[in-house]
A and B are shown apart, each in its own frame.
Chain A
Amino acid sequence: MTTVRRFATTAAGVLILAVMLFPLYWMVNASLLPSTELVGSEPAWLPIHATFDGYRNALSSQGGHLLTSLYVSLGTVAVTLLIAVPAAYGLAQLRAAGGRLLVFALLIAQMIPGIVMANALYVAADALHLINSPLALVLADSTLSVPFAVLILHAFMRTVPAEVREAAAIDGASRLRTLVSIILPVSRNAVITAGLFSFLFAWADFLFGVTLTSRDERAPITVGIYRFIGAHMSDWNSVMATGVMASVPVAVLLVVAQRYVAAGITAGSVKD
Chain B
Amino acid sequence: MMADITHSQAAPADVRVRPIGKPMGRSAGVRGGRGGTGWAAFGFIAPAWLYVAAFYVYPLAGNVRMSFQDYTVTSFFTGRAPFVGWRNYEAVWRDPAFAKTVVNTVAFTVGSLLFQFGIGLALAVFFQRRFPLGGVLRSLLLVPWLLPLVVSGTAWRWIMETDSGVLNQALMQVHLIDQPIPWLASTSVSLLSVTLVNIWVGIPFNMVILYGGLQGIPVHLYEAAALDGAGAWQRFRHITLPLLRPVTAVVLTLGLIYTLKVFDVIMVLTQGGPANSSQTLTTFAYDLSFQRLTFGHGAVVGNLLIVVAVVFAFVYLRATRDGEGRAAA
Measured CB to CB, the residues of A under 8 A from B are 1, 6-7, 9-10, 12-14, 16-17, 20-21, 23-24, 26-27, 30, 38-43, 82-84, 86-87, 89-100, 102-124, 126-127, 139, 142-152, 154-155, 157-163, 165-166, 175, 179, 197, 200-201, 203-207, 210-211, 221-222, 225-226, 229, 236, 239-240, 243, 246-247, 250, 254, 261-262, 264-272
B154 lies within 8 A of A13 (CB): no
Q: How far is the CA of A24 from the CA of B186 in the complex (A)?
A: 25
- Residue of A at shortest CB range from B81? A123
Q: Is the CB of A114 within 8 A of B140?
A: no
Contact B282 A24 (CB under 8 A): no
Complex Cα distance, B11 from A150, in Å, reads 13
User: In the complex the two chains form, is B12's CB within 8 Å of A269's CB?
Assistant: yes
Bound CA–CA A41/B170 (angstroms): 10
A39 to B51, Cβ gap below 8 A? no
Binding site for A on B (CB under 8 A): 1-2, 4-9, 11-18, 20, 23-25, 27-33, 37-45, 47-49, 51-52, 55-56, 58-60, 62-63, 66, 71, 76, 79, 123, 126-127, 129-134, 137, 139-144, 146-152, 154-159, 161, 163-164, 166, 169-170, 173, 200, 203-204, 208-209, 211-212, 216, 257, 260-261, 263-264, 267-268, 282, 285-286, 289-290, 295, 298-299, 302-303, 305-306, 309-310, 312-313, 316-317
Complex-state Cα separation, A111 to B6, whole angstroms: 10
The answer to whether residues A267 and B155 also contact, given A86-B45, A94-B41, A120-B60 and a CB cut-off of 8 A, is: no
Considering the complex of A and B, which 4 residue pairs feature the smallest CB-CB distances, nearest first? A268-B12, A90-B44, A94-B41, A162-B32
**B309 x A160 contact (CB < 8 A):** no
Question: Which residues of chain A have C-beta atoms less than 8 A from B13's C-beta?
Answer: 110, 147-149, 151-152, 197, 264, 267-268
Known A-B contacts A95-B41, A105-B56, A158-B28; A7 and B132 likewise in contact (beta carbons under 8 Å): yes
**In the complex, how many angstroms separate the beta carbon of A237 from the nearest chain B beta carbon?**
10
Asked if B131 contacts A6 (CB within 8 A), the reply is yes
Q: Given A20-B144, A95-B33, A269-B15, A119–B139 Cβ distance below 8 Å?
A: no
Q: Is there contact, CB below 8 Å, between A16 and B126? A: yes
Known: A201-B8, A206-B150, A264-B12. A165 touches B52 (CB 8 A): no
Partner among B18, B28, B263 whose Cβ is within 8 Å of the Cβ of A161: B28
Give which listed residue, A102, A116, A246, contacts B302 with CB less than 8 A. Answer: A116
Q: How far is the CA of A272 from the CA of B228 in the complex (A)?
A: 33
Nearest A residue to B302 by beta-carbon distance? A116
A197: contacting residue among B12, B37, B40, CB under 8 A: B12
- Nearest B residue to A150, CB-CB: B48
Q: Supply 15 A–B pairs (Cβ within 8 Å), ascending by A.
A: A26-B155, A39-B163, A93-B32, A97-B41, A100-B24, A143-B56, A147-B13, A148-B12, A158-B25, A160-B28, A197-B1, A210-B267, A222-B151, A264-B12, A267-B12
Known: A90-B45, A99-B24. A268 touches B38 (CB 8 A): no
In the complex, are the beta carbons of A124 and B261 less than 8 A apart? no
Compute how far the CA of A109 lies from the CA of B55 in the bound complex, rounded to whole angstroms: 9
Q: Which chain A residues lie closer than 8 Å to B9 at the CB level?
A: 204
Give CA–CA (A56, B78) in the complex, Å: 44
* Inter-chain contact B148/A247, CB cutoff 8 Å: yes
How many angstroms between the C-alpha atoms of A236 and B145 in the bound complex? 23
- Within 8 Å CB of A144, what residues of B? 6, 8, 11
Query: Which of B158, B313, B316: most chain A Cβ within 10 A?
Result: B158
Determine the chain A residues whose CB is within 8 A of the CB of B156 once the complex forms.
Answer: 23
B132 (CB) vs chain A CBs: closest residue:
A10
The minimal Cβ–Cβ distance linking A33 to chain B, given in whole angstroms, is: 11
Residues on the A chain within 8 Å of B40, using CB? 94, 175
Report yes or no: A204 in contact with B150, Cβ–Cβ below 8 A: yes
Q: Complex: how many Å from CA A166 to CA B33?
A: 10
**New A-B contacts (20) at CB < 8 Å, excluding given A17-B141, A95-B25, A243-B151:** A13-B126, A13-B137, A24-B143, A24-B144, A27-B158, A43-B169, A93-B29, A94-B44, A98-B42, A111-B316, A112-B306, A119-B298, A152-B13, A158-B24, A162-B32, A197-B2, A204-B7, A222-B148, A240-B154, A264-B1
| CB neighbours of A110 from chain B (8 A) | 11, 13-14
Partner of A86, one of B8, B47, B141, B169: B47
Contact: B6 with A201, CB < 8 Å?
yes
